[in-house]
Amino acid sequence: MRGSFRTLTILLAGLVILTGVSVDAGAETPSNAGVEGSTVCSTEEAKRSAKSWNYNPVDAYKFGLKIQHYVEQEDLQSLFGLVQGELSYGPRKKYIRGKLFSEIFSKTWRETVLSEKPDCGPVGWRGFMLGNGNIWYHQDYETRKWEIFSINNELNIEADKSPLDGSWKFKEELLTSDCFATIWMSGDNYQYHHENFGEKHGVDWDDFFSSPGRYIGGPIPIAPMLPLGPNSSQWMNCF
């Protein structure tokens, strides 16, 4: 009996190795997602994109499938479990607590997200998307964890203007995330502030680059500023 059991175990293990298919029926993504992803993401374009943006295309594909799995199951809590902290755009987590999937997302929204398989490559620096931009996700640069960072929904959700813990205020006004923008790929926004407000006060560039918050409200005024350039419509801060 023991010999038969051992033989069966070896055969099952060999089957998993040969096919790459998991026998876990409770998996959050299709059991052959890794094999499928390796095939779909084996194009030269996918390889170039992965090398350029420093990510594993199969991992990106599998994470996209995981998102679609939760959307298909209308599992709102698990979907938002893929969000680290709060969304940069979309409903806050406290808003969706106790609500049904259909109270947040429409049938059309769900169908659009499920209409196509995930891409192996990002939309440039903006990250990966599903459903024509209904969901955006990426791999965090520091933690290397995959996460959803933006969800665009069709339903009319009343904006929650109550400040989060640790929010900054100035003259009783809540400072929005635009006031704390990360550095652009060109570095122009940080360079502009340093050249116009940092250098005259002897502020070191490296320190300014790594800790700009030290200088907001000091050398960097919280006040309306001129556009980035004479032909630019981009303003340098939110006031």
The domain spans of the chain are: 2-151, 163-239
| pLDDT average, residue stretch 113-117 | 95
Q: How far apart are CA 234 and CA 147, in angstroms?
A: 28
Residue 121 has pLDDT above 90, yes or no: yes
Q: What is the pLDDT of residue 34?
A: 56
Residue 83 has pLDDT above 80, yes or no: yes
CA distances from 201 to 72, 186, 193, 195 (A): 56, 24, 12, 10
| pLDDT average, residue stretch 97-112 | 93
CA atoms within 13 A on the CB side of 208: 23
The residues with which 151 forms a beta bridge, in sequence order, are 135
Q: What is the pLDDT of residue 225?
A: 56
- Quote the mean pLDDT of the chain: 76
Burial label, 236 (beta-carbon count in 10 A; 0-12, 13-18, 19+): buried
| pLDDT average, residue stretch 176-205 | 76
* 71 compared with 229, residue with greater pLDDT: 71
- Contact 67/135 with Cβ under 8 angstroms? yes
**Confidence tier at 137 by pLDDT (50, 70, 90):** very high
Residue 229 has pLDDT above 70, yes or no: no
Whole-prediction pTM: 0.59
Lowest mean per-residue pLDDT among 96-100, 114-118, 123-127, 171-175: 171-175
Q: What is the pLDDT of residue 164?
A: 59
Q: What is the pLDDT of residue 7?
A: 42
* 26 compared with 132, residue with greater pLDDT: 132
Q: Buried b / exposed e across 141-156, counting CB within 10 Å, b at 16+? A: eeeeebbbbbbeeeee
